[in-house]
Amino acid sequence: MLEDVVALATTLVKGIVAYPNDVQVRIEHEQDENGEIAILYYKVHQDDVGLILGAEGETSRSLRRVISLYGFRQTQKRVYLHIVTPRMRDQYARFK
């Protein structure tokens, strides 16, 4: 179920960042010609952006890979994880 995927992703993200209480998640659902998509948007404290992205994006790429695979196994739909960076903050505001 998607709740299990969100719980795993949230646990992983909170385990990486220095300010776990500031982690926020927003879930959106979309549909395309290949089926349903769930998109998990994670907003973290601005000081944690570097930690969650990692050197050359390796940490975020690894998180995305794990969540995508686990998400498909649990839900039979594509699950994407996005980290909301300071450049995306204005875009994120519309999700609330």
Task: Please determine, for residue 96, whether its predicted confidence score (pLDDT) is greater than 70.
Answer: no
Out of 3.30.300, 2.70.98, 1.20.1440, 1.20.120, select the CATH number for domain 2-52+69-84. Answer: 3.30.300
The residue ranges of every structural domain in the chain are: 2-52+69-84
Task: Please determine, for residue 86, whether its predicted confidence score (pLDDT) is greater than 80.
Answer: no
Q: Kindly provide the b/e burial profile for residues 34-67, where b requires at least 16 CB atoms within 10 angstroms of the residue's own CB.
A: eeeebebbbbbbeebbebbbeeeeebbeebbeeb
- pLDDT bin (cut points 50, 70, 90) of residue 94 is low
Query: Which one, of 43, 42, 41, 52, lies nearest residue 18 by Cα?
Result: 52
- Based on its alpha-carbon atoms, the radius of gyration of the chain, rounded to whole angstroms, reads 13
Average pLDDT over residues 5-29: 95
Q: pTM for this one?
A: 0.85
Per-residue pLDDT tens for 23-66? 999 999 999 888 899 999 999 998 999 999 999 989 999 999 99
